[in-house]
Structures are given as C-alpha cells and as structure tokens.
Amino acid sequence: MDFQPDAGLDAFRQEVRAFLRANLPPSLAGKPRGSVRSLRAEIEPWQRVLNEKEWGAPYWEKEHGGTGWGVLQQLVFDEECVAAGAPTQDGFAQKLLGPVLNAFASPEQKAEHMPHIFNGTRLWCQGFSEPGSGSDLASLRTRADRDGDHYVINGQKIWTSYAHDADWIFLLVRTDQEVKKQAGISFLLVDMKTPGITVRPIRSIDDCHHLNETFFDNVHVPVANRVGAEGDGWKITKFLLNNEHASAADLPILKRYLMQIRQLATRQGVCGATLLARHEFALRLARFEAEVAAIGMMVKRVAAMEQDHSPAAHAMGSMLKIRGTELQQRMSEFLVEALGDYGAVAYPEPHASTGVPPLPLQDVGRGVANEMFFRRASTIYGGTSEVQRGIIAKALFQL
C-alpha cells in the first residue's frame, strides 16, 4: 500500500485537457450539462472528433477498437469531459451494449453495428424494465415467439430512456415460457423502425422528456439479431450490469456540483453579504467537500478492484452507489437552496427554447432544479438503494 501520486495518471489528465482545449468545438462546449444525454446533433459530431483521435470507445479494450484505458484513466477522461462541458457520448452504446457485443456478438453483428457506434450514427436505447418487472427484472413478460427465421415480439417496455430519439433498441424478451424465469430470457437487437413498435413519451418530474413507454405489437425481428444463444439473456444481463461499479457514484457530476456551489457561494448575495459569508452555508459546503473527497477515494478503490477483477468490487460497488447517489441528491438539493427565492422558480428546462423576456436570474438558475428533480431517480435506476442493500447484506454477511 502506498499513496504516492500516480505521475502517469496526472500526465494523462493533462493530455485529455489539452485534447479538449484543441478539439472541442466552441459550438459543442460549455453546455450546462447535467445528467441528461446530449442531443443527437451534439453527440454525432463529438463522436466523430473522438473517433478521429481513436478515442471513439474510451471504455473498451484495444482488441475491440477501444482505447484500452484502465478504469482510473476512464474516470479521468469522464471528469475532464464533464468539466469542459463536452457533449455526452451515447452511454447505452458505449457502456452497456458495447461490452456485450464485444463479448458475445457474432462477427456479422459486429460488422453491422460497430462502425455506427464509433461514428455516432446509430443511437441506442435499452428495453429492460416492464410495468410488472422493475427490481424483479427476471419476471419480464414481453415474449418473442419463433416464426421461421424470425421472432414475433409482443409486450411492453417502460422507462426506455431516449427511445424517442433512438435508432435501435437492445431488448430482453422471453423466448421460453416453460423453464425457470431466468432461463427463458434472450437478448435481441431491434431496429426501432420495425413495424409494430410504438413509443409513447412519459414526462418526468424534472420537466424533461427522456422517459418513454415502448410497445411491441407483432414486431418481426430476424433470429440473426439475437446476441448469444437462446436463453442466454440473463447471463448477458448480469455481465452488462456488472460492468461499471466505479462509475456508479457519477463522481464527475459530484465534482461539477461542487464547482457550481463554489460559484454561487461568491456570486450570490444574502442580506448584504456573500452567500459564502453565511456560516450555515459555508459549513454545509465544507461537509460536501469532505464527502466528495471520501467518495472520490472510494471510486479509486473500486476502480482498482475492478481492474484486478476482484469479486469484492461487487459489494463495494453497491456501497458506492448507495452513498454516491444519496450525495448527488443532497448536493443537487443544496444548489437549489443556494438560489434562495429563485430556487422556487420553474425556469424553462435546458433544452426548451428560452422565454422572452427571460425570467430573472435565468442564466444562473436554469437547469438547477431540473437536475435536482432528475436525481430522485438516481437511487432507483441501476438497482434501487434497497436492492443494493440486499446485495451487500448477502455478499458480505451471508444474511
């Protein structure tokens, strides 16, 4: 055990920073980026820039055309991109589907999809949850029945983020009704333009549209679009969900919140002084700084475990998710509080057109409350905090 600074990692951070300075077009930079995926018009050109640098797949092994970066380097890359306000990539393709295709897809499937992922020309969404299958995902009922060399899909998915703007969906379906629930699941890739698919928007409390319900009514999908063998869906899902423990806390966002709070601290006034001069404010900011420091070190520990393929990464990742997401909620709430009276104002959401005339303090306050409301979902998606606690109790204590 030693705590010497990692010179290689510091040099890498400088490299990423320099790259962003030189290559992030001003038209794509400095967007007040919360947690929501960027727009297609932003993702595609940015993905092209990254791809030219051969950074088109930051999280993948070299043999699959990725950067081959270690988990800690990936985190540095994420942090610097968020700090620079760069557009997001397509997280579904990069972090969830990509590793699955690398590990399980046929050469034909890779040839079909990989170029589009590298070029940002095919956006993905995820069809996992159903109205009756949330935490108990394996109980899903959307069925795929064989009809020659096609599956016929009938059922409904929910919480399909960005389905309204996605070209393809990766989908869990039940291909066998007879066997144990986990054993009857398969993993399909489906073109969203296939007849029979209907996407209906769900407006969420953050006043944004990213959630949807997606309906499948006799949707014909080639059997060749199945990843892995029939019935492998659950195995693939566990692989997919096991992939990103270290990013569960979303440390780059926590750091961004700290930066925002620091800015408000010195620029907002209360009763004739800066917000920072208020002891109750400074005290809470000091606590947040300490907590982010602790979470930051916990992220490094989980990243090191992941890099070593340590089984301990699993429970530790769950702990990190619980504590990190809870901190996301408290910090995003604090940002709204820091706006004082204007924290109550419902500004136009970040992607909506600006009202004329703009509301007071709109340049500062816009998006802040949306982010807070969005973060109520952090402790729900990717396994609720309660599911995580169950995982921890079982893994660590065999309870």
Partner 1 sequence: MNFKLDDEQQMLQDSVRRFVDKDYSFEYRSTLLKARSGGSLARWQVFAQNGWLAAALPEAEGGLGGGIVDTALIAQEFGRGLVVEPYLGCAVLAAQTLVAGGTPKQRAALLPALADGARKVALAYSEAGSRGFPEWVSCGAESVGDGYVLNGMKTLVLGGVEADAFIVSTRMAGSGDGPDGISLFLVEAGTGGLSRQPLPLHDGTWAAEVTFDGVRVGADSLLGEPGQGLAALRHGLAHGTAALCAELVGAMEKAVEITSEYLKVREQFGVPIGSFQALQHRMADMAAELELARSMLFHLLASVTNDDAQTLVRTVSQAKALIGRAARFVCGQAIQLHGGIGMTEEYAVGHYYKRAVVADALFGRADQHEAACAAELQATLIQTEGQA
Provide the binding-site residues for partner 1, judged by CB under 8 A.
Answer: 1-6, 262-263, 265-267, 274, 276-277, 279, 282-283, 285-287, 289-291, 293-298, 300-301, 304, 315-316, 318-319, 322-323, 386, 388-390, 392-394, 396-399
Q: How far is the CB of 69 from partner 1 (least distance, A)?
A: 16
Q: Which parts of 210-258 are beta strand (E)?
A: 211-222, 226-227
DSSP, collapsed to helix, strand or coil, labels residue 165 as: helix
Q: Are 35 and 253 in contact (CB under 8 A)?
A: yes
Task: Kindly tell me which of 177 and 310 has the beta carbon lying closer to partner 1.
Answer: 310
Residue with tokens 């204007």: 342
- CA distances to 34, 66, 97, 323, 376 from 385, rounded to whole Å, are 21, 32, 23, 9, 11
Q: How far apart are CA 158 and CA 171, in angstroms?
A: 11
Q: How far apart are CA 265 and CA 189, in angstroms?
A: 48
In terms of Cα–Cα distance, which of 87, 72, 59 is closest to 8? 72
Q: How far is the CB of 321 from partner 1 (least distance, A)?
A: 9
In terms of Cα–Cα distance, which of 386, 32, 37, 34 is closest to 211? 37
- Residue of 79, 130, 244, 306 with catalytic role: 244
Q: How far is the CB of 316 from partner 1 (least distance, A)?
A: 6
The residues, ordered by sequence, that sit 6+ positions from 352 with a Cβ below 8 Å of its Cβ are none
Q: Which residues pair with 213 in a beta bridge?
A: 158, 200
Q: How far is the CB of 254 from partner 1 (least distance, A)?
A: 13
Q: How far apart are CA 158 and CA 212, in angstroms?
A: 6
In terms of Cα–Cα distance, which of 173, 175, 182, 180 is closest to 138? 182
Q: Which residues pair with 219 in a beta bridge?
A: 153
Q: How far apart are CA 380 and CA 376, in angstroms?
A: 8
Task: Kindly tell me which of 49 and 316 has the beta carbon lying closer to partner 1.
Answer: 316
Q: Are 184 and 231 in contact (CB under 8 A)?
A: yes
Q: How far is the CB of 253 from partner 1 (least distance, A)?
A: 18
Query: Is 61 known to be catalytic?
Result: no
Q: How far is the CB of 297 from partner 1 (least distance, A)?
A: 4
How many residues are present in the chain? 399
Active site residue ranges: 244
